[in-house]
Amino acid sequence: MATVDLPLPRLGVGAETAPRPIKVVLNWGRRYSLWVFNFGLACCAIEFIAASMARHDFIRLGVIPFAPGPRQADLMVVSGTVTDKMAPAVRRLYDQMPEPKYVISFGACSNSGGPYWDSYCVTKGVDTVVPVDVYVPGCPPRPEALLQGIIKLQEKIASESLSSKGMRAKYGGHRAATAAEVTRPLVAPPTREVVGG
Amino acid sequence: MGQTGEVTTTDGPRELTVGMGAGGLATADMVLNIGPQHPATHGVLRLRIVVDGERIITAEPVVGYMHRGAEKLFEVRDYRQIIVLANRHDWLSAFANELGVVLGVEQMLGLEVPERAVWARTLLAELNRVLNHLMFLGSYPLELGAITPIFYAFREREELQAVMEEASGGRMHYMFNRVGGLKEDLPAGWLDRVTHAVRAVRGRLPDLEALISGNEILEARTRGIGLLSPEAVAAYGVSGPIARASGVDMDLRRDAPYLAYPELFAPGGPGRVVTRTAGDCLARLEVLLEQVHVSLDLADACVERMRSLPQGPVNVRLPKVLKVPEGDLYTATENPLGFNGYYLVSRGEKTPWRLKLRSASFNNIGVLRELLPGALISDMVAILGSTFFVVGDIDK
Amino acid sequence: MSPAVEVLVRTVAVLAAFLVLPLLVGQTEHKVMAHMQGRLGPMYAGGFHGWAQLVADGVKFAQKEDVTPAAADRPVFRLAPAVGLVPYLVALAAVPLSPGLVGADAPASAVLVLAATAVGILGTLMAGWASANKYSLLGAMRAAAQLLSYELPLVLAVASVCLAAGSLSLTAIAGAWSPWWLLWQLPGAFVFLVAAVAELQRPPFDMPVADSELVFGAYTEYTGLRFAFFLLAEYAGIVLMSLLFAVLYLGGWKGPLSGDLGWLWTLLKGFVVSVLVIWMRVAWPRLREDQLQRLAWLGLVPLALLQLALTGVWVVATA
| Complex-level ipTM | 0.84
**Chain C residues lying within 8 Å of B1, measured CB to CB:** 135, 215, 220
Check CB contact of B217 with chain C, cutoff 8 Å.
yes
Other CB atoms within a 10 A radius of the CB of residue A87 amount to 17
Residues of chain A contacting C224 with CB distance shorter than 8 Å: 12, 98
- pLDDT at position B19 is 44
A169-173, B205-209, C31-35, range with the lowest pLDDT: A169-173
The reported pLDDT for the residue numbered C25 is: 92
Q: Which candidate in B1, B18, B147, B218 is best for mutational testing of the C interface (most C CBs within 10 A)? A: B147
Q: Cα(B31)–Cα(B37) distance, rounded to whole angstroms?
A: 17
| Inter-chain residue contact A61 with C44, CB threshold 8 Å | yes
Average model confidence (pLDDT) across chain B: 85
Predicted confidence at residue C129, as pLDDT, reads 86
**Contacts of B203 by beta carbon, 8 Å cutoff, 6+ apart:** none
Q: What is the pLDDT of residues B231-267, one digit of tens each?
A: 999 999 899 899 999 988 888 888 888 888 888 888 8
Residue A6 confidence (pLDDT): 67
Give the pLDDT confidence score for residue A28 in this predicted structure. 86
pTM of structure: 0.85
Q: Structural domain boundaries of chain B? A: 3-62, 70-395
Query: pLDDT tens, B345-379?
Result: 988 888 899 999 998 888 888 888 888 888 888 88
- 8 Å CB contact between C56 and C71: no
Q: Where are the domains of chain C?
A: 3-318
CB contact under 8 A, B392 and A196: no
- The torsion of the CA quartet C289, B365, B128, C41, rounded to 10 degrees, works out to -30
Q: Which residues of chain C make contact with B32, given a CB cutoff of 8 A?
A: 134
Contacts of B147 in chain C (CB under 8 A): 33, 37, 281-282
Residue B9: per-residue pLDDT: 39
Is residue B24's pLDDT more than 70? no
> Domain spanning B70-395: which CATH class is it, in words?
mainly alpha
Give how far the C-alpha of residue C152 lies from the chain's centroid of Cα atoms, to the nearest Å: 16
pLDDT above 60: residue C53: yes
Instruction: Tell me if chain A has a CB within 8 Å of the CB of C55.
Output: yes
The rounded percent of chain B whose pLDDT value lies above 70 is 92
Q: Say if B36 is an interface residue toward chain A (CB within 8 Å).
A: yes
Average pLDDT over every residue of C78-93: 89
Residue with the bigger pLDDT between B24 and C89: it is C89
Q: Which residue has the higher pLDDT, B273 or A5?
A: B273
Q: Measure B16 CA to nearest chain C CA, in Å.
A: 10
pLDDT tens-digit profile of A135-182? 999 888 989 999 999 999 999 888 877 766 666 666 665 566 554 444
pLDDT in tens, A52-74: 888 888 888 888 887 678 888 88
CA C131 centroid distance within chain: 24
Share of chain B above pLDDT 90, in %: 20
* pLDDT for B330: 92
Which residues, including other chains, have CB under 8 Å from residue B367's CB and lie 6 or more apart?
A: B228, B232, B233, B236, B238, B387
CB atoms within 10 A of CB C313: 10
Please, is B116 exposed, middle or buried when counting C-beta atoms within 10 Å of its C-beta (0-12, 13-18, 19+)? buried
Q: Which of C33, C212, C291 has the CB atom closest to B381's CB atom? A: C212
pLDDT band at A195, cuts 50/70/90?
Answer: very low
A4, A49, A139: which to substitute to probe chain B, counting the most B Cβ within 10 Å?
Answer: A49
From C313, C309, C314, C304, select the one nearest C192 (Cα to Cα): C304
Average pLDDT over residues B292-313: 89
Of C134, C203, C213, the CB nearest to B381: C213
Q: Measured between beta carbons, which residues in chain B are less than 8 angstroms from residue C145?
A: none
Residue whose C-alpha is closest to residue B52's, from B18, B29, B34: B29
Separation between Cα atoms, residue A130 and residue A138, nearest integer Å: 20
Name the minimum distance, in Å, from the CA of A59 to any CA of chain B: 13
Query: Of the candidates B7, B142, B152, which has its C-beta nearest C71's C-beta?
Result: B7
Q: Do A29 and C70 touch (CB under 8 A)?
A: no
Q: Please judge whether B215 and C70 are an interchain contact, meaning their C-beta atoms are less than 8 angstroms apart.
A: no
Listed in sequence order, the residues at least 6 apart from C271 whose beta carbon sits closer than 8 Å to its beta carbon are C25, C28, C242
Interface mutation vs chain B, best among C33, C39, C209, C212, most B CBs within 10 Å: C212
- A100 to chain C: which residues are within 8 Å by CB? 63-65
Inter-chain CB proximity B9 and C291 less than 8 Å: no
